Amino acid sequence: MSLAIISPGKNPNAWIKVINQLNPDLKIQVYPDISDPEKVEVAFLWQHPEGLLSSFPNLKLISSMGAGVDHILRDKSISKDIPIVRIVDEKLTWSMTNYVIMAVLNFHRQITRYQADQKRKVWDMSNPEIEVKVGLMGVGALGSDVLEKLSMMDIPVFGYGFSEKEDFKHPYFSKNQLDQFLKEINVLVCLLPLTKETENILNLDLFKKCNPGTYLINVARGKHLIDEDLITAFEKGYLSGAMLDVYREEPLPKDHPFWEEVRISMTPHIASVTNPRAAAPQLIENIERIKSNRELLNLVDRNKGY
């Protein structure tokens, strides 16, 4: 059996080291140097070139290198008979929660404003705190942990998702209650999976329904957000600012207007990065399970998109 690691632009050495320690007999081929495509039975990938997997005639399993799988599902050439799995890592949840809390507190304590004041040598002690009510779009493993930790800080929290939930610990709004959800909050966090239903959901129509001056935090996927609508929302006063970790094109092109927009704080998709040491054992376990025809860990439901 051979494993193909396909992650253009990323250095796979950390993954190779851990995988070799866990299973020294597993042959690893790294894209683009795939010398024996017919021997590849498992593809471990992130942002692979669409159509590439068709060159592996004996492919039995596809694993994402992270929690997201939209980069895989958009490739329509992949056979529906090949199972897809993803990585679920407690460290990913820990990192994501910390990032969102940091972004919420940045808005709450107006750190961006004070950084600008420092550059202009302005001493302004007025309104040092903004009252925040945080809404999470997407309350899976990541979103639920964010809600729990924020609520422990006595910050009001509200959840929103596309399915009904019973006995949810925090106030929750389902798909048809978006307007009510937006009226409860002034910090909007997107942690939705990227699906046909959620692509472009962060648009001008949604921003119009927000309380004036709402702050946006997008840590999900760049394609959730219509870029030009965000700028318009600032100009109209629908939103007061945003913190972004994901973008429609990555790296963000140097001529993109977000670079010069003072109301946007940006990070380069680092909110939650997969740790090879924590994630590789899941990959090895699923390889053993596919060999023995056992139920796979973290199997993706293609209909749901996650």
Q: Judge whether residue 89 has pLDDT over 90.
A: no
Q: What are phi and psi of 43, to 5 degrees?
A: -115, 125
DSSP strand E in 20-170: where?
A: 27-30, 40-45, 61-64, 84-85, 134-137, 157-160
Side chain identity, residue 248: R
Is 91 a residue whose pLDDT tops 90? no
Work out the pLDDT band at 283, boundaries 50, 70, 90: very high
Domains observed in the chain: 2-89+274-291 (3.40.50.720), 90-266 (3.40.50.720)
CB neighbour burial string for 13-41, b if at least 16 within 10 angstroms, e if fewer: eebbebbeeebeeeebbbbeebeebebbb
For the record, the structure tokens of 289 come out as 């399970």
Rg (alpha carbons) of the chain, rounded to whole number: 21
State mean pLDDT over 209-224.
98
What average pLDDT is seen over the chain?
96
Residue 94 is predicted with a pLDDT of: 93
Q: How far apart, in whole angstroms, are the C-alpha atoms of residue 265 and residue 215?
A: 11
Q: Which pLDDT tens digit goes with each residue over 232-251? A: 999 999 999 999 999 999 99
Cis? peptide before 251, omega within 30° of 0:
yes
Residue 256 reports pLDDT greater than 90: yes
302: Cβ contacts below 8 Å, ≥ 6 apart: 73, 80, 84
Q: Give dist(CA 235, CA 246) in Å, integer.
A: 22
Question: pLDDT of 170-203, one tens digit each?
Answer: 999 999 999 999 999 999 999 999 999 999 999 9
**What distance in Å separates the CA atoms of residue 3 and residue 251, rounded to the nearest whole number?**
27
- Note whether 62 and 78 are within 8 A (CB): yes
The pLDDT of residue 1: 84
User: What pTM does this model have?
Assistant: 0.88
**pLDDT score recorded for residue 67:** 87
